[in-house]
């Protein structure tokens, strides 16, 4: 054995490739499969998502962009062809668009800021040792489970001018009277508050649960150490809890930015005649999403509506990025 080994060793340089080549068919195939398994299969496995996204997400966005550059009116089939940037130019001079933009941001701020702050407080409370913990935790999620259409219709009654519950409450504390009730739909500020209330009601519990789940992962000894150092509950919340759940904070801020700027159902159903999509008699609370619907499906000007959608898309990107940046800075810039 040893002899044959030493004897065969000298011609090795030339023979080796040949020897290796002998078992090649099987091993190379294995190798190929192995590599395929490692390198390709993961892509194949998640490709359905991207295929579906391409069909139902990317294509519409791109197609929308193309439509935005064209004339396309449903009520006048002859008016067609490329419009260039005319739709976007019109957008810049369109009072309705700026009005809707102001409304959208106004409602967005009225809805998002209290929403996330209250959710944070609520999560902080829920994070303590309470009786019937699960009952409370499930309870805060109930508004989220309620269909928007159902809850909004109830709120529309609450905020109605005659015999509305909101006006009744106000009259109890001395504002307004039964004979001269506040018309919630008549003014910008009152309609914004009404709509922001609906949004807050729906999303506070949802965000609170997200915060809560993040809070649960904070080790208890950090709080104990802080308590030993003399930090009160308020200080603990802002100095320990908030920085430590920062990723979730950013996530909720981005999510509510997207949701807030696309606000549609609540303002739509707040209107006495929902099909009008005009957001009140003078567009007091018409949001951009509502305006897009109105321009596209009531004025039947699809090209212009597409331009508005694209503008909204860009605005959301910018605002969400800004928000994430600011939240990041506030939390100490860890990420």
Among 275, 329, 333, 334, binds other proteins (CB under 8 A): 275
Tokens found for residue 241: 């809890």
Contact 126, 134 (CB under 8 A): no
Q: Which of residues 22-81 bind other proteins (CB under 8 A)?
A: 30, 33-34, 36-37, 41, 44-45, 47-48, 51-52, 74-77
Stretch in the footprint of other proteins (CB under 8 A) among 156-164, 198-206, 215-223, 261-269? 156-164
Tokens found for residue 138: 């499930």
Query: Least distance in Å: CB of 190 to other proteins?
Result: 11
Tell me the C-alpha distance between 299 and 97, whole Å: 14
Tell me the C-alpha distance between 268 and 298, whole Å: 14
Here's the x/- map for other proteins, 224-263, by CB under 8 A: it reads as ----------------------------------------
Q: Which of residues 283-302 bind other proteins (CB under 8 A)?
A: 295, 297-301
Q: How many CB atoms lie within 10 A of CB 153?
A: 14
| End-to-end C-alpha distance for the chain, whole angstroms | 64
Query: Least distance in Å: CB of 291 to other proteins?
Result: 11
Exposure string of 229-238, with b = 16+ CB inside 10 Å and e = fewer, is eebeeeebbe
Contact 100, 286 (CB under 8 A): yes
Stretch in the footprint of other proteins (CB under 8 A) among 123-131, 168-176, 271-279, 305-313? 271-279
Query: Least distance in Å: CB of 7 to other proteins?
Result: 38
> Can you state the angle between helices 95-126 and 133-145, rounded to 10 degrees?
170
Where does this chain bind other proteins (CB under 8 A)? 30, 33-34, 36-37, 41, 44-45, 47-48, 51-52, 74-77, 96, 160-162, 183, 185-187, 272-273, 275-276, 278, 281-282, 295, 297-301
């Amino acid at each position: 054995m040893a002899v044959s080994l030493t004897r065969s060793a000298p011609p090795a340089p030339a023979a080796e490739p040949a020897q290796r080549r002998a078992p090649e068919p099987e091993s190379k195939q294995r190798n190929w499969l192995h590599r395929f398994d490692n390198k390709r299969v993961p892509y194949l496995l998640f490709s359905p998502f991207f295929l579906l996204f391409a069909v139902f997400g990317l294509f519409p966005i791109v197609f929308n962009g193309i439509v935005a550059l064209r004339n396309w009116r449903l009520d006048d089939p002859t008016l067609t062809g490329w419009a260039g940037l005319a739709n976007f130019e019109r957008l810049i001079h369109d009072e309705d668009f700026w009005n809707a933009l102001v409304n959208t941001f106004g409602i967005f701020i009225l809805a998002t800021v209290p929403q996330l702050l209250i959710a944070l407080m609520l999560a902080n409370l829920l994070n303590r040792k309470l009786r019937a913990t699960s009952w409370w935790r499930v309870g805060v999620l109930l508004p989220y489970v309620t269909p928007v259409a159902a809850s909004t219709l109830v709120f529309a009654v609450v905020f109605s001018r005659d015999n509305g519950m909101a006006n009744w409450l106000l009259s109890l504390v001395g504002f307004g009277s039964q004979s001269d009730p506040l018309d919630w739909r008549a003014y910008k500020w009152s309609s914004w508050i009404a709509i922001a209330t609906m949004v807050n009601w729906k999303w506070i519990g949802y965000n609170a649960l997200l915060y809560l789940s993040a809070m649960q992962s904070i080790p208890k000894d950090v709080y104990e150490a802080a308590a030993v150092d003399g930090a009160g509950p308020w200080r603990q919340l802002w100095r320990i809890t908030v920085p430590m759940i920062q990723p979730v904070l950013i996530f909720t801020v981005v999510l509510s930015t997207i949701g807030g700027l696309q606000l549609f159902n609540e303002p739509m159903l707040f209107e006495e005649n929902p099909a009008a999509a005009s957001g009140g008699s003078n567009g007091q609370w018409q949001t951009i999403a509502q305006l897009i619907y109105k321009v596209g499906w009531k004025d039947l000007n699809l090209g212009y509506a597409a331009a508005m959608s694209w503008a909204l898309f860009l605005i959301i990107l910018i605002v969400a990025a800004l928000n994430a940046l600011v939240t990041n800075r506030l939390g100490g810039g860890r990420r």
